[in-house]
Every structure is written in structure tokens, then in C-alpha cells.
Amino acid sequence: MTIEDVADKLEAKSDAVNRIVKTVAAGAVALITAVGGLFALWPFGDDEAPEPPPALIQGTGYTPQCSQLYNTIEHTWTEQQWSVWEKLKRDMDC
């Protein structure tokens, strides 16, 4: 065996090792990507649905009781009478 033969064999083995390392690295990247995808899609105990946000318009005032309350408005009321009326309005959700 000459030095050239040994160098050729060593170069072939080095190329084979480089291919194996690249293949293993590509497999590891693919495995990590797959596991990350599974974690992204996995439901971690969120079995119950989230609560809906509160309604923007509360108390539309279309009940008969609200209509009766609105019919009682007097523009000559004192501040105390208005505060009682406002409290009733809030209590009745008008």
C-alpha cells in the first residue's frame, strides 16, 4: 500500500463520516420540528371554553317595567329624586 492509497481510503472514510453526521443532524432537526408542532397543537388542559366578553350594550330598556320607569320621569325633580330614579334604573337593568 502506498501513501496515496492510504490517503484515498482516509478521504473516503472522512466523506462517509461527514455524510453520516449531516444525516443525523437533519434527522434531529426534523424530530425537533415534529415535536414542536405536536406541542403547538396539543391542548394543555383547556377543556372549558373561555368566558365570552361582557356585552357592550347592557340594559336596553325594552321590558314593560323599564317603559313604566321611563314614563315616570319629571324634569323638575331634585337631585335626590334623580339619584333614586337612577338607582332604580340600574337595579332593573334598564
CA angle 67, 93, 57 (to 5 degrees): 100
User: Would residue 48 count as lying in a domain?
Assistant: no
pTM for this prediction:
0.42
Q: Locate 90 and state its grid cell.
A: 340600574
User: Would residue 53 count as lying in a domain?
Assistant: no
pLDDT digits (tens, 9 = 90+) for 6-51: 888 889 999 999 999 999 999 999 999 999 988 888 777 666 777 7
Q: Are 70 and 94 in contact (CB under 8 A)?
A: yes
User: Would residue 88 count as lying in a domain?
Assistant: yes
Region 59-68 average pLDDT? 73
User: Would residue 5 count as lying in a domain?
Assistant: no
Q: Verify that 67 and 94 share a domain, yes or no.
A: yes
Domain containing residue 78: 59-94
User: Would residue 63 count as lying in a domain?
Assistant: yes
**How much of the chain exceeds pLDDT 90, in percent?**
24
Q: Which of 48-52, 78-82, 88-92 is predicted with the least confidence, judged by mean pLDDT?
A: 48-52
Q: At a CB cut-off of 8 Å and minimum separation 6, what does 74 contact?
A: 81
- The number of folded domains in the chain is 2
Q: Verify that 38 and 63 share a domain, yes or no.
A: no
Q: Locate 23 and state its grid cell.
A: 444525516
